[in-house]
Amino acid sequence: MLNRFVTLFSLGFSSSQITPSPGPLPHLQTPSGPLYDASGMKVHLSHPEKTLEIQGPLSVGSLLERLHLTPEAYLVIRGDELVTEDEMLQDSDSVEIRSVISGGV
Amino acid sequence: MRCRKCPRRAVINLARHRLALCPACFTDFVHQQVARAIKRERMFGPQERVLVAVSGGKDSLALWAILLKLGYRADALYVDLGIGEYSARSYAKVQAFAEQAHRDAQARLYVHRVPQKEGAGIRELAILTHRPTCSACGTLKRYHFNRIALEHHYDVLATGHNLDDEAARLLGNILHWQTEYLDKQAPTLPASVEGFARKVKPLYRLTEREIAAYAVINRIDYVVEECPMAKGSKLLLYKEILNQLETAQPGTKHRFYWGFLEKRAHLQGTNNLSMAEYDRQVLTPCTVCGQPTTAPICTYCKLMDRAKGVPVKSS
Ligand code: SF4
Ligand SMILES: [Zn+2]
Ligand SMILES: [Zn+2]
């Protein structure tokens, strides 16, 4: 429980985080580190447009967890098919993480 | 993960219903939820004419698609707000969908172009009139929605508001104790005055994620990017927080909003003045355009007069 709130607040509800998109993901901006691998799967995020290479195999659920994304706010699409959290993603997969949140006013 | 209803592979897991579904069973599930919403909240009957407000986003296009699938007589209105490339891309999606809807179901699309008719895009109009863009936008959209419905004799106006929209709005209203707005949060709002269409939200039982999944599965091509004016909106903050809660406790959003609707129904039973009766008491036709308003001149006419620099006078 505490853990969830730590995640909630470590994301920080600053104005940059409250965008309809996955946000700038500051922790992913360095082109090195454990999340990056030149031979990994291509993960595409929209708004802002961004493509990451992530080492597989890993499940959809762990992918979202590693990127600190709330599952309820995203769909994961492999090729052109939706996939559930338990599905395993491989290095050869092309993956889109699409934000589903919208709305002004 | 396997589909709970058939032997196929599941593509979505609905934690709030403990239900994993394949594309075909999920599509059925969405249709059932919308059919249930329409029936339960007495939204409209099979012979009534429905006007859907479409923006090019997932909710409104999915709503139009679902109503046509369910066999309703649904046309749509698109208001071009003149927000540069964003409006151009949204319109392209709406137009492509409308052509298909026309071929399949003889559905019709109306387009109102703000830059041409009001003389400037919504951002410029908002600056001219010293109003926040989204508030000026709301006034304009409501006005033209009502106007087209009246001119073309539609019985019902339908918008793509979903469970997340309504739960986030409810949270905002409660946090600020804006109880005067709570009445307007029902999924069906009766016609305020004679000749005006009732307003309905047939997607109130579905989350944003479910609607986006419906669009992906049924190949509805929508504009994924957000209106640039939505950035930093309070509603997005409330949605984000509700989604954190939903992940920790599946079902939070629907328990919150549906629970409110149930309590509200009980309260209304004890209230001697219904919302429709109250509206009829306070609303009169605008002296300029005739749309119902609580003031002598409606917000739209005031906004347009201010934009043109003309002093507002009632006749
Ligand atoms: S975000 Fe604001 S300006 Fe953009 S469509 Fe919504 S209400 Fe209008
Ligand atoms: Zn199935
Ligand atoms: Zn008026």
Contact A103 B248 (CB under 8 A): no
Residue B53 lies in a domain: yes
Give B247's contacts in chain A (Cβ within 8 Å): 4, 70-72
Cα–Cα distance measured from residue B251 to residue A90, given in angstroms and rounded to the nearest whole number? 31
For residue B270, count other CB atoms closer than 10 A to its CB. 6
CB atoms under 10 Å from CB of B307, counted, come to 19
Q: Has residue B43 been placed in a domain? A: yes
Chain A partners within 8 Å of B208 (Cβ): 100-102
Q: Which residues of B touch A61 (CB under 8 A)?
A: none
User: Is ligand 1 within 6 A of the CB of residue B235?
Assistant: no
Residue B241 distance to chain A (closest CA, Å) = 8
Residues 56-95 of B with CB under 8 A from A: 57-59
d(CA B79, CA B113): 6
B70 within a domain of the structure (yes/no): yes
Is A18 in Cβ contact with B233 (below 8 Å)? yes
Q: Is the CB of B133 under 6 A from ligand 1?
A: yes
State whether A46 and B224 contact (CB < 8 Å): yes
Domain residue spans of chain A: 35-105
Ligand nearest to the backbone CA of B26: 2
B32, part of any domain: no
Taking CA atoms, A105 is separated from B27, B136, B209, in Å, by 30, 10, 20
How many A from CA of B90 to the centre of ligand 1?
Answer: 13
Q: What is the DSSP letter of A53?
A: E
Q: Are A103 and B232 a contacting pair at CB < 8 A?
A: no
Model ipTM value? 0.88
Answer with the residue of higher pLDDT: A88 or B196.
A88
Atom index in ligand 1 nearest the CA of residue B137 equals 8
Give the atom of ligand 1 at the shortest distance from the alpha carbon of B233. 1
Pairing state between β B109-113 and B73-80: parallel
Which member of A81, A98, A104 has the closest CB to residue B229? A104
Q: What is the pTM of this model?
A: 0.87
CATH, residue B89: 3.40.50.620
Nearest-neighbour CA in chain A from B237: distance (Å):
6
pLDDT of residue B226: 87
In a domain, B1, yes or no: no
Residue A3 has pLDDT above 50, yes or no: no
> Would B25 be classed as within a structural domain?
no
A79 Cβ below 6 A of ligand 1: no
Which residues from chain B sit within 8 angstroms of residue A14, using beta carbons? none
| Position A12 pLDDT exceeds 90 | no
pLDDT of residue A85: 96
Residue predicted with more confidence, B214 or A103 = B214
Q: Does the pLDDT of residue A31 top 70, yes or no?
A: no
β-bridge partners, A96 = A44, A77
Query: How many residues are there in chain A?
Result: 105
Q: Does A35 touch chain B (CB under 8 A)?
A: no
- Domain span including residue B203: 38-282
Q: Give the pLDDT score at B161.
A: 97
Q: State whether CATH 2.160.20.80 applies to domain A35-105.
A: no
CB neighbours (10 Å) of residue B107? 22
Is B306 within the bounds of a domain?
A: no
Residue of B114, B129, B133 with the most ligand 1 atoms within 8 Å of its CB, for mutation:
B133
Closest CA to A25 of A37, A36, A16: A16
Q: Does B19 touch chain A (CB under 8 A)?
A: no
How far apart CA A7 and CA B268 sit, in angstroms, is 40
Domains: count for chain B: 1
B270: closest CA of chain A, how far (Å): 32
Reading chain B (315 residues) residue by residue, the pLDDT tens digits are 999 999 999 999 999 999 999 999 999 999 999 999 999 999 999 999 999 999 999 999 999 999 999 999 999 999 999 999 999 999 999 999 999 999 999 999 999 999 999 999 999 999 999 999 999 999 999 999 999 999 999 999 999 999 999 999 999 999 999 888 888 889 999 887 776 789 999 999 999 999 999 999 999 999 998 899 988 889 999 999 999 999 999 999 999 999 999 988 777 655 555 666 777 778 888 899 988 888 899 999 999 999 888 655 554
Residues, Cβ < 5 Å to ion ligand 3: B 286, 288-289, 298, 301
B294 belongs to a structural domain: no
Q: What is the pLDDT of residue B280?
A: 74
CA-CA distance, B60 to B58, in Å (whole number)? Answer: 6
* Torsion angles phi and psi, residue B189, rounded to 5: -110, 120
Residue in chain A closest to B136 (alpha carbons) equals: A105
Q: Which residues contact B35 (CB under 8 A, 6 or more apart)?
A: B70
* pLDDT per residue as tens digits for the range A38-56: 578 999 998 778 999 999 8
Binary contact (B226, A102; C-beta < 8 A): yes
Instruction: Inform me whether the C-beta atom of residue A88 falls under 8 Å from chain B C-beta atoms.
Output: no
